Structure 1
Amino acid sequence: MNNEHIEVIQMDMEDFDHETLPLGSKAYYQLNYDSGMAEQGILPVCVIRGYSKGPRLLVMAAVHGDEYEGILALTELIPLMGPADVQGDLVVIPVVNVSAYYGGTRCSQADGKNLARSFPGDAEGLYTDRLAWHIRNTFIAKADFMLDLHSGGTHYAMPLMVGYDSSRNSRASILSQAAAESIGVEVIWGHESIPPGRTVSAASELSVPWLYMEAYGGQRIRQNELEAFRNAVLHLMNHMHMLSEPIRWVKESATSVSLRLTGDGNLDRSDEANCEGLFVPAVRLLDEVRKGTLIGVIYDWFGCPLQEIIAPSEGIVMMLREVPYTKPGDGLFTLALREKD
């Protein structure tokens, strides 16, 4: 963690510009926005500019406030790196949605909206819409690459994985896939199409290549996933030729990809519960299932089965509901397809 004395610069979001920071500098900011609104926003940002110009990498965590793996990975990495370590610009937002973070919730406390469904945002909208607008226009639009760190959070469980743009219909998508192969995570999930409202859909619209990462979640940080997140940032920087001394930061070659998946990655289309009860999974993450496989059962208080959850098709289990208590409409599982050779 950070034992150095740091000065946090208070600044209005409208006045923030990466380019005003001299080359060879490191700065910490608390950006304030919409100070005249009832729901004033703040955003913590660290910028490390190397002594020479190069790519600008944007790394973000806590778009959802109950996803802690990325936050800790970035807060551990930030103090270790300085301008001499970086070629280009590293822009880090350890907590994107401060309102959700304060509440330990997936959605913003200010208005109940999901930031990851609110892009491109609206400068005149509610809190979450305004936050999306600022993130898109102040940060994503000015990046050469974006990495967005997620996890299953409170209610879902997901495997450690990297998602990327597999459409191959643009230079950005080609760069996205190449980066996914080099980041050191065994499971990668390619998306030929991107549902709207996401950080990654905003990046695609701006022709900015992107990756996102997922981890198990459950409001607990697992050491192997924390290390994987931290190493993924370093492997990505190495892939982008942003490390002045790669051998200092990347001790081992990146882990090879062992499972390539395809699908739209839209958790909003997860198969849902149709009753209230206790969901008990019958499968595990990354299990390969066939059509008709029993995914799990919802029970009542006395152990009587209320609903059997059946796989509608073949696939790999990529999400399972983590919280047993389940209400009608709650998403229970998501499948992806193994990429064909």
Structure 2
Amino acid sequence: MERNLTAQMTPTSVDFDRPGKQIGVFHVPLSSHDDAWGVIPVPVAVIKNGHGPTVILEGGNHGDEYEGPITLGELIRDLDPSDVQGRLIFIPAINQPAVQAANRVSPIDGINMNRAFPGDPLGTTTRQIVAFVNDVLFPLGDVFIDLHSGGSSLDIIPSAVIEPGKTPEQHAANVKAALAFGTPITVVIDNRGDPRTATASAALAGMTVIGTEMAGGGTVSLDALALCRRGVRNVLAHVGVLSADVAVSPETESRIYELGPRAHVIVEDDGVFEPMHKLGTEVHAGELAGRIHFLTQPGRVPVDLHYRADGIVYGRRQPGRVRPGNCCLVVASPYESKLI
């Protein structure tokens, strides 16, 4: 019933079962002051040929993360149906209002799409878009690739991301797909156990799931974009949708890390953040991580911040201005699970 309601409320101009290449939109209703019966046109594309798995590729979940949407747009234009064995479903700018606004969250309802799954076909705009992905697309998929970057507020080491699997078999498949992407480091991220992310919901739907974090800072990183272009094709070759000759072996074997419960350094003061280390630096719990300066109170001594875990500096806040509750640093620790 939920899936039928979602499909009825968000009609699409593509036929997911038709062979060939189609580029179109699905329409999310938006009744606003200046357009009573308007819609939001969200881009979607399908390339289908032969027999093979269905891979859903998502970019633009956050509107200020660019390497993923660029990579997916290139694949939509460049791939011929004859290159594909199976089906590729592209949603390259899924959070269309946020992408248009270059904003992490939707300017319409202020919701973070990656904390809105499984969505609601009768909810706000973001929840309706999410419901289309969750109710209509996920049941079609075998593999889900969710391309993220650090966005405007974080700079992150470019990496493939392992979504913890719901079974040992799914977890192993997720690990293999992430390692196939071919980044120097691969990180297990469960978003503190939050089940409302796209990758967590895709895992619940039974798919093999891979995510990424491709640099950040609200810009396009040339190095991260090159990794993303190569990595997506590597995963598509790994699952058999593209021929193996498109895959590029990484220069070095990927090291696997995880974000544990003490990975994040959270600030409790209102001021300006000074980091102590560059990304990739090996650090230890208790070590000085940074300082908070109080520029309009020159007599006030800065507040020291300390790491809470051993590992490497994986992510660092991009804007210097901080307020209580901001995450300033993220430490990735060596992954020691036996489920690999």
CA deviation after TM superposition for structure 1 residue 194, in Å: 4.1
1:167-191 alpha-carbon deviations (Å, 9 max, x no partner): 5724322211111121211111124
Q: Is 2:28 the partner of 1:30?
A: no
Kindly report the root-mean-square deviation, in angstroms, between the aligned alpha carbons of the 2 structures: 2.4
CA change 1:223–1:40 in 2 (3 A) is: same
Match of 1:311 in 2: 307
TM-score in terms of structure 2 length: 0.87
> What is the distance in 2 between the residues matched to 1:74 and 1:301?
43
> What is the distance in 2 between the residues matched to 1:153 and 1:17?
30
Match of 1:3 in 2: none
| 8 A contact 2:14–2:45 mirrored in 1 | no
The code of the aligned residue for 2:80 comes to G
Match of 2:258 in 1: 262
CA deviation after TM superposition for structure 1 residue 255, in Å: 4.0
Match of 1:200 in 2: 199
TM-score in terms of structure 1 length: 0.87
Q: Secondary structure at the match of 1:227?
A: helix
Match of 2:122 in 1: 124
CA change 1:168–1:133 in 2 (3 A) is: closer
Q: Is 2:296 the partner of 1:298?
A: no
CA deviation after TM superposition for structure 1 residue 260, in Å: 0.9
Match of 2:79 in 1: 81
| 8 A contact 1:194–1:200 mirrored in 2 | no
Match of 1:237 in 2: 236
Match of 1:13 in 2: 10
The code of the aligned residue for 2:41 comes to I
| 8 A contact 2:266–2:327 mirrored in 1 | yes
> What is the distance in 1 between the residues matched to 2:200 and 2:336?
25
CA deviation after TM superposition for structure 1 residue 166, in Å: 4.2
| 8 A contact 2:149–2:212 mirrored in 1 | yes
The code of the aligned residue for 1:291 comes to A
Match of 1:185 in 2: 183
The code of the aligned residue for 2:295 comes to W
Q: Is 2:218 the partner of 1:219?
A: yes
Larger mean CA deviation between 75-84 and 162-171 belongs to: 162-171
The code of the aligned residue for 2:100 comes to Y
| 8 A contact 1:265–1:336 mirrored in 2 | no
CA deviation after TM superposition for structure 1 residue 286, in Å: 2.2
CA deviation after TM superposition for structure 1 residue 336, in Å: 2.2
> What is the distance in 1 between the residues matched to 2:63 and 2:142?
25
CA change 1:18–1:188 in 2 (3 A) is: farther
Gaps of 5+ in 2: 1-7
> What is the distance in 1 between the residues matched to 2:314 and 2:122?
36
Q: Secondary structure at the match of 2:304?
A: strand
Larger mean CA deviation between 60-69 and 179-188 belongs to: 179-188
> What is the distance in 1 between the residues matched to 2:289 and 2:15?
48
1:52-93 alpha-carbon deviations (Å, 9 max, x no partner): 121111111110000011111222222110101111111111
CA deviation after TM superposition for structure 1 residue 104, in Å: 1.1
1:76-131 alpha-carbon deviations (Å, 9 max, x no partner): 22211010111111111110101111221111101111000011111111111112
Match of 2:3 in 1: none
| 8 A contact 1:188–1:257 mirrored in 2 | no
CA deviation after TM superposition for structure 1 residue 232, in Å: 0.9
CA deviation after TM superposition for structure 1 residue 15, in Å: 4.9
> What is the distance in 2 between the residues matched to 1:33 and 1:172?
32
> What is the distance in 1 between the residues matched to 2:82 and 2:145?
22
The code of the aligned residue for 2:207 comes to V
The code of the aligned residue for 2:305 comes to I
> What is the distance in 2 between the residues matched to 1:285 and 1:265?
20
The code of the aligned residue for 2:328 comes to L
Match of 1:98 in 2: 96
Gaps of 5+ in 1: 1-10
